[in-house]
Amino acid sequence: MRINVRDILAESVGYSRAYKISGERPHLEGLELTQDIEGEITISRLDTGLLIRGRINTVIQLECHRCLSTFDHPISLNFSQLFATDPSDDELRFDDETVDLAPLMEQEITLALPIKILCRPDCEGIKEAAGKYTNEQTDRRLQNQARITKGTQIRGRT
């Protein structure tokens, strides 16, 4: 999933070019795509490197934390990422000629995943009660269900 950026780097700072992403299905570490990545990105020339912004859509396969079945999870996200030849912590690396979008896709899709992965909100899975109440903490619910406050209390972690 590489883009040649030599001609962008030859332009002056502030130059931007748009690209359409279509039919891309890169190998992403720990993620199984079940649909191609589609979307649009804009690459801008900065004095320190490149800024890549855009949005993508795809579908990945997830495994339900509760019942362990696999299911398709649509992903739609916007991103903005700096690239540098000598990157700092929040930048990704590119060489003089190409940018590899796969690590960026990997990073953004991973960040977009829900913390609790469920095939459906009311999945009864293995043991329904424990997860259900920690997920839905409306005030009324906490008042009515005394045992919940006991189970979800997290103190002394500041």
Binding site residues, Zn ion, CB under 5 A: 64, 66-67, 119, 123, 125
In terms of CB distance, is 67 or 77 closer to Zn ion?
A: 67
Minimum CB distance to Zn ion, residue 120 (Å): 7
Q: Is the dihedral of CA 108, 114, 120, 121 positive or negative?
A: negative
Smallest distance from Zn ion to CB 76, Å: 22
Q: Which is nearer to Zn ion, 31 or 67 (CB)?
A: 67
Question: Are 136 and 76 a contacting pair, CB within 8 Å?
Answer: no
DSSP category for residue 28: B
- Beta carbon of residue 147, minimum distance to Zn ion (angstroms, whole number): 24
Residue 98 DSSP class: E
For Zn ion, the closer CB: 93 or 120: 120
